[in-house]
Homo-oligomer: A and B are copies of this chain.
Amino acid sequence: MSEPIQAGVEKSNNVTVTDVFWQTYKRIVAEQVIPYQWKALNDALPDTVPSHAIENFRIAAGEAEGEFFGAVFQDSDVAKWLETVAYSLRSFPDAELEKTADDVIALLGRAQAEDGYLNTYYMLVEPDYRWSNLRDNHELYCAGHLIEAAVAYYQTTGKRAFLDVMEKNVQLIQQVFGNEDNKLQGYPGHPELELALLRLYDVTGKQEHLDLAVYFIEQRGQQPHYFDIEKEKRQTLNRPKTWNDEHTNFGLGYAYMQAHKPVREQEEAVGHVVRAMYLYTAMADLAQRTEDKQLQKICDKLWEDVTRRKLYITAGLGSAVNGEAFTNAYDLPNDSMYCETCASIGLVFWAKKMLELSPDRKYADVLERAIYNGTISGMDLDGKRFFYVNPLEVNMYQAGRKDQEHVKQERQKWYACACCPPNLARMIASIEDYAYTTTGDTLYTHLYMAGSVKANIGKVPVKLTQTHQYPWDGKITITVETEGVFNLAFRIPEWSREAAASVNDEAIYVNDLQNGYLVLNRAWKAGDQIELLFPMPVERVYSNPKAGMNQGQVALQRGPVVYCLEETDNGANLAGIRLPRQAAFQTIYDRDFLNGVVTLEAEALRITGTENLYQTDVPKTTPRTIRAIPYFAWGNRGLGEMRIWVHEGVE
């Protein structure tokens, strides 16, 4: 069984980040987002929907009076905050913050019931109806997030308190759920606990934690269907209607929660995207741990379906607000889609597990696409406002449609359903965990992130250091800091069509790749220098002809960064711009613009406005210089149109 370096407590300090791009984001999370979200959790933000999440735990602990407030999954906001803190403390030690986290953890412990139960919604609102609505009420989902946080906090600090709370909670879950006749044969409506149990197993090594994860994954979608049984039972309990009783599962059936069939029979990505991503992450993780080739094959089929037929160029996912869900292959509307920030974050989680399962650049290419585009677009450059939905196009006619209100034209301070901001925070705070994996004999570099990594290849300790200005420049210098014989594998990005490499100034042939990786085997000496060169011309990306909405248009991409046009740079009616195929681009790096980005400029055309809705005269055009900026940085300069896909010019 392969043993990824991320397993075990040494995870907390094996990768350091000096990367300007990511260190900026990580610092924003540490200095802005964590304190901001702490205020949110404590209802200390003016002009936002109150969270009440900490207060719910206080009430559950008997330390405050009042009633539960918030969504049924309100506890998970606290969990994600604690998890973010855990990661952030690795890069930015902060005794005061750690003390605050310890206090919250202690509160969780005091709120926990004697039997290990811990969920403030049920404890305060429906104490007699625990586990009565797994389909809708996120009870096990919240447990999963708390487990993830507990594992992360233990890995960073070595403190066991949180882990103890959650192990006790898991013991209870284990007594309640399972295949045995005296247990409920249920599983979470919203996957999350599965991947969390696998992470718990990482640090506890307890077989029962692995077994419970296996149970929840395999039980999903089995017949007789648990959610049918549960529903029938619930009717005898006379419970009030839930959010999901009226228009159940948004008309999508159990596919909404990927419970329409057993997971080993699922070959197409369906339903609520975040649920799907969390489930597939757990499936891939399990396949890796158990060397389950059949499950791996399923994961790969799902991966192909998502990335070849249902993925936005930003690595956004989820074409419909209805069910926040996948729809059909090639259905990728740019202005009415969902593309929840959490969905792309979930894709990052999944991609990482696929890489651990089988190093192939196709996973890392998508991972990279996600982290530089559709995830971080969810936050403004100050870490103060967030998108839940990430449109690829904002136009004047879609704006203000009553049935399109899920698409916000600008980032919001906070959301009543606040899943995305803390999810993004935890991804950024732990971004270095996605850069490398190891197999028995090879250290894989998947992402180019300046900084260093320490790992063991077999028994050989290895340290590498990356230096570069990625993603704005494709010249990567890697210094081997330790001696020994081992393989170093470097991803040659699929977008890089003319990559070059050298070791100690000696050119290396780059065309002989292993699953997209340049694998170098030699007796390394400290100080050996590997240079990788990924030229970054501006690429015009064309969409498959089946994706009708993108036809006749190109997206601009440079390196891993997808670009967009904004009204503020290019005037209104971005759909009226024509980019002739032969137009050349100027690339300009400006350290002071949008936290430091490369912008693109080209001579294009603009169709001259007309009063007529339809005309038979060929539209007239006038020359116009256009400027494209990185998509992730859109919406930082006021309201206006935005567009990724630009029409090529016939004119």
The answer to whether A542 and B614 have CB atoms under 8 Å apart is yes
A397/B330 contact (C-beta < 8 A), A541-B614, A614-B542 known: yes
A650/B581 contact (C-beta < 8 A), A250-B402, A544-B610, A546-B573 known: yes
CB distance from A247 to the nearest CB of B (A): 10
> Which A593-633 residues have a C-beta within 8 angstroms of B?
607, 609-619
The answer to whether A543 and B650 have CB atoms under 8 Å apart is no
A401/B613 contact (C-beta < 8 A), A542-B619, A576-B551 known: no
A542/B618 contact (C-beta < 8 A), A311-B613, A552-B647, A581-B650 known: yes
The answer to whether B401 and A545 have CB atoms under 8 Å apart is no
A399 at the binding interface (Cβ < 8 Å): yes
A266 at the binding interface (Cβ < 8 Å): no
A127 at the binding interface (Cβ < 8 Å): no
A172 at the binding interface (Cβ < 8 Å): no
Interface-lining segment among A48-56, A76-84, A178-186, A320-328: A320-328
**Alpha-carbon distance between A54 and B617 when the two chains are bound, in angstroms:** 53
Chain B: CB-nearest residue to A545: B576
**Alpha-carbon distance between A321 and B401 when the two chains are bound, in angstroms:** 11
A329 at the binding interface (Cβ < 8 Å): yes
Chain B: CB-nearest residue to A612: B544
User: Which residues of chain B are near A397, meaning CB under 8 Å?
Assistant: 327-332, 546-548
User: Which residues of chain B are near A497, meaning CB under 8 Å?
Assistant: 616
Chain B: CB-nearest residue to A306: B613
A262 at the binding interface (Cβ < 8 Å): no
The answer to whether A320 and B403 have CB atoms under 8 Å apart is yes
CB distance from A539 to the nearest CB of B (A): 5
**Alpha-carbon distance between A565 and B78 when the two chains are bound, in angstroms:** 55
**Alpha-carbon distance between A575 and B543 when the two chains are bound, in angstroms:** 11
A396 at the binding interface (Cβ < 8 Å): yes
User: Which residues of chain B are near A336, meaning CB under 8 Å?
Assistant: 336
CB distance from A486 to the nearest CB of B (A): 34
CB distance from A310 to the nearest CB of B (A): 8
**Alpha-carbon distance between A649 and B401 when the two chains are bound, in angstroms:** 32
User: Which residues of chain B are near A402, meaning CB under 8 Å?
Assistant: 250-252, 322-323
A39 at the binding interface (Cβ < 8 Å): no
**Alpha-carbon distance between A545 and B557 when the two chains are bound, in angstroms:** 24
A289 at the binding interface (Cβ < 8 Å): no
**Alpha-carbon distance between A294 and B545 when the two chains are bound, in angstroms:** 51
The answer to whether A544 and B648 have CB atoms under 8 Å apart is no
The answer to whether A308 and B548 have CB atoms under 8 Å apart is no
The answer to whether A327 and B613 have CB atoms under 8 Å apart is no
A544/B251 contact (C-beta < 8 A), A401-B320, A401-B328, A551-B576 known: no
A458 at the binding interface (Cβ < 8 Å): no
**Alpha-carbon distance between A328 and B404 when the two chains are bound, in angstroms:** 12
The answer to whether B545 and A619 have CB atoms under 8 Å apart is yes
**Alpha-carbon distance between A206 and B287 when the two chains are bound, in angstroms:** 84
A13 at the binding interface (Cβ < 8 Å): no
**Alpha-carbon distance between A647 and B555 when the two chains are bound, in angstroms:** 17
The answer to whether A542 and B308 have CB atoms under 8 Å apart is no
A400 at the binding interface (Cβ < 8 Å): yes
A398 at the binding interface (Cβ < 8 Å): yes
> Which A511-548 residues have a C-beta within 8 angstroms of B?
539-548
User: Which residues of chain B are near A385, meaning CB under 8 Å?
Assistant: none
A307 at the binding interface (Cβ < 8 Å): yes
CB distance from A557 to the nearest CB of B (A): 8
Chain B: CB-nearest residue to A327: B401
The answer to whether A616 and B540 have CB atoms under 8 Å apart is yes
Choose among B545, B581, B616, B619 the residue that contacts A539 (Cβ–Cβ < 8 A). B616
Chain B: CB-nearest residue to A619: B542
**Alpha-carbon distance between A547 and B553 when the two chains are bound, in angstroms:** 15
Bitwise interface map of A from 340 to 363 toward B, beta carbon under 8 Å scored 1, else 0: 000000000000000000000000
The answer to whether B647 and A309 have CB atoms under 8 Å apart is no
Choose among B542, B553, B649 the residue that contacts A615 (Cβ–Cβ < 8 A). B542
Chain B: CB-nearest residue to A576: B545
User: Which residues of chain B are near A313, meaning CB under 8 Å?
Assistant: 614
**Alpha-carbon distance between A578 and B597 when the two chains are bound, in angstroms:** 36
Bitwise interface map of A from 383 to 408 toward B, beta carbon under 8 Å scored 1, else 0: 00000000001011111111100000
A576/B546 contact (C-beta < 8 A), A327-B397, A328-B400 known: yes
Which of A336, A395, A552 is the most central at the interface, judged by chain B CB atoms within 10 Å of its CB? A552
CB distance from A65 to the nearest CB of B (A): 35
User: Which residues of chain B are near A649, meaning CB under 8 Å?
Assistant: 650
**Alpha-carbon distance between A403 and B308 when the two chains are bound, in angstroms:** 23
CB distance from A478 to the nearest CB of B (A): 26
User: Which residues of chain B are near A546, meaning CB under 8 Å?
Assistant: 396-397, 573, 575-576, 609
**Alpha-carbon distance between A551 and B334 when the two chains are bound, in angstroms:** 14
CB distance from A645 to the nearest CB of B (A): 10
**Alpha-carbon distance between A540 and B551 when the two chains are bound, in angstroms:** 18
Choose among B323, B539, B547, B573 the residue that contacts A613 (Cβ–Cβ < 8 A). B547
Chain A residues engaging chain B, CB cutoff 8 angstroms: 250-252, 307-309, 311, 313, 320-323, 327-332, 336, 393, 395-403, 495, 497, 539-549, 551-553, 555, 557, 573-576, 581, 607, 609-619, 647-650
User: What 20 new A-B contacts, CB under 8 Å, besides A320-B403, A552-B552?
Assistant: A252-B402, A307-B613, A311-B613, A313-B614, A328-B399, A331-B397, A331-B398, A332-B397, A336-B336, A397-B546, A541-B616, A543-B613, A544-B615, A545-B575, A546-B576, A551-B552, A552-B553, A552-B648, A552-B650, A581-B650
Top-3 shortest CB links A-B: A545-B576, A548-B575, A331-B397
29 contacts between A and B (CB under 8 A): A251-B402, A308-B612, A309-B613, A313-B614, A322-B401, A322-B402, A327-B401, A328-B399, A328-B401, A330-B613, A336-B336, A393-B548, A396-B546, A497-B616, A541-B614, A542-B616, A543-B614, A544-B615, A545-B573, A545-B607, A545-B609, A546-B573, A546-B575, A548-B574, A549-B549, A551-B552, A551-B647, A552-B647, A555-B614
